[in-house]
Amino acid sequence: MFKSKELNRLVTMALQYASLMAFGLFTMFPLLWAVSFGLSSDGSYAYLFPQSFVPHVSGGDGTYSIGTTLVWFERVFVEIPFSTYFKNSVIITTLAVVGTVVISVLAAYPLARMRFAGRNFIFVAIIATLMLPQETALVPNYITIVKLGNFADWLQLTLTGSDAATWKKLIGMNSYLGVVLPGIAGAFGIFLMKQAFEAVPQDLIDAARVDGATEMQILWRVMLPVTTPSIAALAIFTLVNQWNEYIWSSIVMRAKTMQPLAVGVFNDLTGPLSGSQNTLMAAIVLTVIPVLVFFAFTQRFFISGMDGAVK
């Protein structure tokens, strides 16, 4: 028999796990539903409450049994240019991660470790941008990107005499750089790296200086190796955010062939393809899975990076 104290503890624990499970179901159910929906042979069970969370296949004579089919997952690649969107997402995200890390590291180093005129002013100005609603920058940045494209066009015509308008495709509307450039220099990354650089012992830097290292060598050989965890956290953050980013990409990438997953899949599925619901759910699962897998492997860094950004 249990003593009452022990029973009490067990009941508390059972209640805690029950609440944890309940919250878990609340956060997980859309994905579980989409998976089950996508694996079912048609949408007949899709909106019945408990049934729709178990994949069903049709027996062909009006009967259904529990089972799975991958046909809708195959249809995704036929009905929408999924691989193109995927490729765009990979390119855009890679550019954003590399750009953000390089620019944040470069900017954070002097702010953390060098004394120069205007340091405090520059730092405060950068941090102050955290309060700006980024949405109001959409219109000016849109105009800037259009003008950059036109400028590239003019430059190409002037310098090479060609009116092929190929330079425009590098930086104007419907360009990878146009999507990435406005976001890669930001207060968050600079702040995160500044905190990391400030925690490096001064002795390490002094020793390198005595050995005659230049600032660039100190940054590259001394600072970067010891701040790898912060760099990893920043890279992971940027990757997940850029992979999921929707609004700016949807403004710049008007051409279907240039859209990342979050834009292309959304446009296709809310538009002409909204009829085929199983394909739609399969496409959703295929869009979410890469970032989920990535998150599963990196969640330790991801969540501790988040803590670090707050403290």
Site residues for other proteins, window 32-71 (CB under 8 A)?
Answer: 33-34, 47-50, 52
Strand partners, 64: 58
Which of 61, 163, 203, 307 is in the footprint of other proteins by CB under 8 A?
Answer: 307
253 forms part of the interface with other proteins (CB under 8 A):
no
Q: Which two tokens stand for residue 231?
A: 């760099």
Instruction: Report residue 3: phi and psi, to 5°.
Output: -75, 155
**Pattern 97-116, other proteins, x by CB under 8 A:** -----xxx-xx-xxx--xxx
Query: 225-245 as b/e, with b when 16 or more CB fall inside 10 Å?
Result: eebeebbbbbbbbbbbebbbb
96 forms part of the interface with other proteins (CB under 8 A):
no
17 forms part of the interface with other proteins (CB under 8 A):
yes
292 forms part of the interface with other proteins (CB under 8 A):
yes
Q: Which two tokens stand for residue 11?
A: 């009941």
The least CB distance from residue 142 to other proteins, in Å, is: 8
178 forms part of the interface with other proteins (CB under 8 A):
no
288 forms part of the interface with other proteins (CB under 8 A):
yes
31 forms part of the interface with other proteins (CB under 8 A):
yes
Q: Which residues between 189 and 248 bind other proteins (CB under 8 A)?
A: 190, 215, 219, 240, 243-247
- Residue 265 in contact with residue 291, Cβ under 8 Å? no
- Residue 305 in contact with residue 230, Cβ under 8 Å? yes
280 forms part of the interface with other proteins (CB under 8 A):
yes
Which of 58, 129, 195, 217 is in the footprint of other proteins by CB under 8 A?
Answer: 129
Q: Is 27 exposed, middle or buried (0-12, 13-18, 19+ CB in 10 A)?
A: exposed
